[in-house]
Structure 1
Amino acid sequence: MKKLKLITTDLKNNKYWQQEEREASKVSDCMKVINIYPEVSYQEIEGFGGAFTEASAYNYSKLSEKLKEQLIEDYFGETGLKYNMGRVHINSCDFALGNYTYIEEGDEALRTFDIAHDKELILPMVKEAIKKASGDISFLASPWSPPAFMKTNGDMNHGGKLKGEYYEAWAKYFVKFIKAYKEEGIEISSVTVQNEPMAVQTWDSCIYTAEEESLFVRDYLGPALEAAGLEKVDILIWDHNKEEAFNRVRDTLKDEKAKKYTKGVGVHWYTGDHFEALELIKKQYPELKLYFTEGCVEYSRFSDSGEIKKAEMYAHDMIGNLNGGISGFYDWNLLLDEQGGPNHVGNYCAAPILCDSKYDALDKKLSYYYIGHFSKYIKKGAKRIALTRYTDKVQAVAFVNPDGERVVILLNKGEEAIPVTLREEGKGTELTLESHSIVTITYK
């Protein structure tokens, strides 16, 4: 360790990714220490990204060419968040302009399958992101609902279940979607079986029990991908809140054949921390990869929260999830308007970047800068490493990048400044974490 770079975001002092370099020195303080242990490593990190919802793509389409370029740079460029992951939805979701599918209603044979709908708004945005990213973007695809005729309630919204006679057709629908996107130059690397399979929503939704999800993976989706030569596309289960994640994984993977096809688990944050659930899954199923597949600050619950509160929700959850074992992070909408939409059922929420109603300005929120403390500095292939901390007032996570660089992220959500001595093998630096601030320290 010779030099350390400190990157600070502190709204009170108007700091956004403010950088400072320091010489490392011997540190003898034993009272306020955070120790770093790079020889003890955990999961490998695949990256960070967000969702190309139709709402985001619609807002993007309304921007000037200059603002379009700025948005893509802000997320995928070297000066931005350096995202290398993206989520897309199969058929419509709540953050779409309305319900839609890729087939004509009642087409059981899928003869009319066509992704022309996505070519209008979503794919142009995706393709610009691919051009801008310094490396390949890993894409996750998730369905919110099958076509209405395939469901027990005859409606894409309000829950319902996939009818047993359509399990095979729905699995083939996945295959057609993946192949259609590949023809457009977009490689889908993973799919989830169903977004939020326990939630009956006023928008696009579909319910699966653990047994039904296991059956669909075992006898339909896994074999369909295999038969189509798409066995490298990973199947992720659950894709819902952490508080039920361990039980759901346990019950879904009781069947060994379903377990064989399942490569990972997706989780959301809407019912609280439950970071221990991730640790339980990693302990009991070490072969599975964990992904944070969706999270946002919902206006229905947190419309009155300030920007610091919103940003700290992100950083707190990201630190807890990474310490719990996740390998990849997908934020929700990439771009929303000032209302938090559009959303075809009025389920508005915040996003790291908003645009105004005239589409002539972009507004980077504090959460954007907080996310950057992770996505800009933790490189693909990094491994989480061990640390110890002297107080729970500091939230912390650490990594070693493939080139040997250490990345340590420290969060102070409190009202008081906190002194910290960062130390590895007796060398490091002393710093002060100001109230409501986040600091990333990098060094070799």
Structure 2
Amino acid sequence: MEALGGLVSIPLQLASGHWDRFQESFANVAVSRESSHWSEVAKPSSGSSSAAQSHELSSPGLTFPAPPDTVTSYHAPQKAGPAAPLPCTQQDTAGGFFGSGPGACRRRPSEPCCSGGAMGPGCASVLGWLLLAQAASRVAGGRPCDAKDFGHGSLVCACSAMYCDTLDPVVLPAPGTYVKYESSKAGKRLERSEGSFQHNTKTPDFHLTLDTAQRYQKVKGFGGSVTDSAAINIQSLSKDAQNHLLRSYFSEEGEPGAGRCCWLVGPVCPASPAAEIWLLRLVPRGWEAAGSRGAVPPNTPQGRPSPPTLSPGIEYNLVRVPMASTDFSIRLYTYADAEGDFELKHFNLTEEDTRMKIPILRAAQAVAKRPLSLYASPWTSPVWMKTNGAMTGRGTLKGSPGDKYHQAWAKYFIRFLDEYAKYNLTFWAVTAGNEPTAGEIVFYPFQCLGFSPEHQRDFIAQDLGPALANSSHRNVQLIILDDQRVMLPYWAQVVLKDPVAASYISGIGIHWYLDFLAPIDLTLSITHHLFPDYFLLSTEASTGSYFWEPRVVLGGWDRGSKYSHSILTNLNNYVTGWTDWNLALDLEGGPNWSKNYVDSPIIVDSSKDVFYKQPMFYHLGHFSKFIPEGSQRVGLAVSKKCRRCDLEHSAFLRPDGAIVLVVLNRSPVDVSFGVSDPRVGFIEATAPSDSIQTFLWRQPA
């Protein structure tokens, strides 16, 4: 609670049922003595009159002698003339915390300013909220999930312009101890706990033993895709809600903003520009800071509430960017639709890029701690380059590798990279094309461009590879396949055994949609051992994509478990990273011009200016938040004495020397297990039913 030092005042209103809890929660909050004025105004009741008394702040603790049925409000000292009050806030019972649920307050611009020091009529009934005028610049700790249950087996966490759950800052624990983050079908969402290693090794039925001498692939990272649909949904939210969404995905930790102030139960904002208004809410574990409001200068006629910007996220570092349209667009387009424009003189980005994807990518980079690794994928060439003259259906490039059509298509990649570079967006990689086998299917319903492995090999060797190598983007890495892993190892053998093509290639991209047809050890592991110098990267996955599945399932825990199962099995078979599909979709699972709706880790309800973090989001966070780029998978020996205690797991050595262990329990029963690190000690643990856990600890230097 040290971050709450330097308090200037605490205006409050509490229901009688919360009064004892409030006193207990803040009994030990140290505050500094400031010249301030408190008044106590009795709640209106029949047959009673208002009474006022004065109270001073005490140190080191706070005392609140006022009876439960009073409203205590703070009046800031006036040093430079009276501060103008802000517009009244009104109670909104339509949705949760701060405008998204019962008891929320939301400023309505049409309401007149508060007058006479009276409290807003709606917010006068808000229970459990505080305004702390504070000079402190930061607040530590995460904010809990604003849980919503849509009846699908688990919870989503609702976020709005004014509130979003966050994580505690990730700090390496002291030697000999560990931290554990747990999410579960029962409702936990990256819940943090601590423990100590034991020195007496036990023999549980399921035992994991760390072996850092065994080293495997290094991790590139985790992320999602900024499609047109994702951009549309993100931009359908208010700016403040957009900020929360992007920080939820990309930030490491947030900082309180310096916005204008707003009040809930007090009549005016403090006049002092040095003060901040902090909002706290009553949560199951006590009182918690939810964000800040910077002070409004004296005589400011109106201040717009600024949201909390303390929004630590799950630290995505990979972003896939479609080159022009996909099925997750609202129209079909490319960047060079002028017939016969082989020199691409009329190549132009579209509004989907300049007004949607590019601003979102720049905003994401602004909140990320490290540079994001962007990689681009084209779905189709312009129709005048294609054999079928259409963006959909069976069709490939006209002519043959080395001719003007293939050279123009290679140049198309370079022009895309050139144009994005003008917006200070540079790319880590490009794929040779999204799902090249789709373009070999008659009547395929979405944008596609067909390639066989032989065609892709020759196109890379003669056109795309040289075009990249001879451009200013020579360091951009090239990824082949970008399609179902069932094509491996055959596709890699055809392409990479050609020394010219292989010299331009860095990695192999895989999708997850037909994984049930392709045993992972017979595809990914074999491919890695055949071509160990080329990384494997999962480039697309989404749930709700099969025709027999519901599209969006708000709170579907099993979909998150499927993600974690895929990530763990991929990582344990030499894959270096995992990329989700759309960052955000609407309640229908779109928009999608072909109505090919799917689910997403974040679902947006723009009518309420809210978005919902699904279980998938938190499953992804168990990896992306704790396994940074450069981490290396290490050995993890398994000793099992029980038949039904199957756990999925993987361990990593981080660049900072810490160990990360992820454990997934997809079964309906709790599983006891142990973890041994020979250099540190033994952890005795339990994986609850339908849960995922991430452990983090230090090793001796």
TM range, normalised to the smaller chain? over 0.9
Is 2:469 aligned against 1:226?
A: yes
State the partner residue of 2:83: none
Give the aligned residue type for 2:692: I
Is 2:533 aligned against 1:296?
A: no
1:214 to partner: Cα distance: 0.1
Deviates more, 1:230-239 or 1:112-121: 112-121
State the partner residue of 2:359: 124
CA distance in 2 between counterparts of 1:240 and 1:27 reads 48
1:254 to partner: Cα distance: 2.5
1:229 to partner: Cα distance: 3.1
For residue 383 of structure 1, the aligned residue among 610, 632, 645 is 632
State the partner residue of 1:203: 446
For residue 167 of structure 1, the aligned residue among 396, 406, 419 is 406
Asked if structure 2 preserves the Cα contact closer than 8 Å seen for 1:193 and 1:238, the reply is yes
Is 2:635 aligned against 1:402?
A: no
Q: 1:34 to 1:362 in 2, by over 3 A?
A: same
| Deviation digits for residues 340-366 of structure 1 (CA, Å, limit 9, x no counterpart) | 000110110000000015151101000
CA distance in 1 between counterparts of 2:529 and 2:331 reads 41
| Residues 7-406 of structure 1 aligned to structure 2 (within 5 Å) | 7-12=181-186, 14-30=187-203, 31-78=205-252, 79-106=312-339, 107-117=341-351, 118-164=353-399, 165=403, 166-199=405-438, 200=441, 201-272=444-515, 274-276=519-521, 277-299=523-545, 300-303=547-550, 307-358=556-607, 360-391=609-640, 393-406=646-659
Asked if structure 2 preserves the Cα contact closer than 8 Å seen for 1:337 and 1:356, the reply is yes
Give the aligned residue type for 1:108: F
Asked if structure 2 preserves the Cα contact closer than 8 Å seen for 1:3 and 1:23, the reply is yes
| Deviation digits for residues 57-79 of structure 1 (CA, Å, limit 9, x no counterpart) | 11111110111101111100122
1:439 to partner: Cα distance: 0.6
Is 2:694 aligned against 1:440?
A: yes
Q: 1:262 to 1:367 in 2, by over 3 A?
A: same
Deviates more, 1:429-438 or 1:242-251: 242-251
Unaligned runs of 5+ in 1: none
1:418 to partner: Cα distance: 0.8
Give the aligned residue type for 1:254: K
CA distance in 1 between counterparts of 2:667 and 2:200 reads 25
Give the aligned residue type for 1:92: S
Deviates more, 1:278-287 or 1:302-311: 302-311
TM-score, with length taken from structure 2: 0.62
CA distance in 1 between counterparts of 2:211 and 2:575 reads 19
1:293 to partner: Cα distance: 0.4
CA distance in 2 between counterparts of 1:191 and 1:136 reads 17
1:184 to partner: Cα distance: 0.8
| Deviation digits for residues 392-444 of structure 1 (CA, Å, limit 9, x no counterpart) | 71000110101110000000101111111011117121111111100111101
CA distance in 1 between counterparts of 2:373 and 2:200 reads 41
Give the aligned residue type for 2:694: T
CA distance in 2 between counterparts of 1:175 and 1:32 reads 52
CA distance in 2 between counterparts of 1:196 and 1:379 reads 28
CA distance in 1 between counterparts of 2:569 and 2:398 reads 38
In structure 2, the residue corresponding to 1:26 is in which secondary structure? coil
Unaligned runs of 5+ in 2: 1-174, 253-311
Asked if structure 2 preserves the Cα contact closer than 8 Å seen for 1:88 and 1:142, the reply is yes
1:18 to partner: Cα distance: 0.8
1:252 to partner: Cα distance: 1.7
Asked if structure 1 preserves the Cα contact closer than 8 Å seen for 2:201 and 2:682, the reply is no
CA distance in 1 between counterparts of 2:332 and 2:354 reads 16
Runs of 4+ in 1 over 6 A off after TM superposition: none
Q: 1:359 to 1:144 in 2, by over 3 A?
A: farther
Deviates more, 1:387-396 or 1:358-367: 387-396
1:220 to partner: Cα distance: 0.3
For residue 430 of structure 1, the aligned residue among 669, 684, 687 is 684
CA distance in 2 between counterparts of 1:150 and 1:56 reads 28
Asked if structure 2 preserves the Cα contact closer than 8 Å seen for 1:54 and 1:95, the reply is yes
CA distance in 2 between counterparts of 1:267 and 1:184 reads 29
Asked if structure 1 preserves the Cα contact closer than 8 Å seen for 2:317 and 2:373, the reply is yes
CA distance in 2 between counterparts of 1:310 and 1:124 reads 30
CA distance in 1 between counterparts of 2:200 and 2:648 reads 21
CA distance in 1 between counterparts of 2:673 and 2:336 reads 58
| Deviation digits for residues 32-81 of structure 1 (CA, Å, limit 9, x no counterpart) | 21111112111111211110000001111111011110111110012211
Asked if structure 2 preserves the Cα contact closer than 8 Å seen for 1:141 and 1:190, the reply is yes
1:316 to partner: Cα distance: 0.1
| Deviation digits for residues 101-135 of structure 1 (CA, Å, limit 9, x no counterpart) | 11233122210111133102111111100101101
Q: 1:357 to 1:339 in 2, by over 3 A?
A: farther
Asked if structure 2 preserves the Cα contact closer than 8 Å seen for 1:245 and 1:267, the reply is no
Give the aligned residue type for 1:350: D
1:183 to partner: Cα distance: 1.2
In structure 2, the residue corresponding to 1:351 is in which secondary structure? coil
TM-score, with length taken from structure 1: 0.97
Give the aligned residue type for 2:691: S
Give the aligned residue type for 2:494: D
| Deviation digits for residues 315-371 of structure 1 (CA, Å, limit 9, x no counterpart) | 000001111111122111001000000011011000000001515110100010111
Structure ranking higher on relative contact order (CA contacts 8 Å, 6+ apart): 1
In structure 2, the residue corresponding to 1:389 is in which secondary structure? strand
State the partner residue of 2:307: none
Work out the number of aligned pairs and report it: 443
Asked if structure 2 preserves the Cα contact closer than 8 Å seen for 1:191 and 1:233, the reply is yes
State the partner residue of 2:107: none
CA distance in 2 between counterparts of 1:269 and 1:27 reads 42
Asked if structure 2 preserves the Cα contact closer than 8 Å seen for 1:238 and 1:245, the reply is no
| Deviation digits for residues 252-278 of structure 1 (CA, Å, limit 9, x no counterpart) | 223110111111000010012532211
Structure with more of its chain in helix, by fraction: 1
Deviates more, 1:167-176 or 1:353-362: 353-362
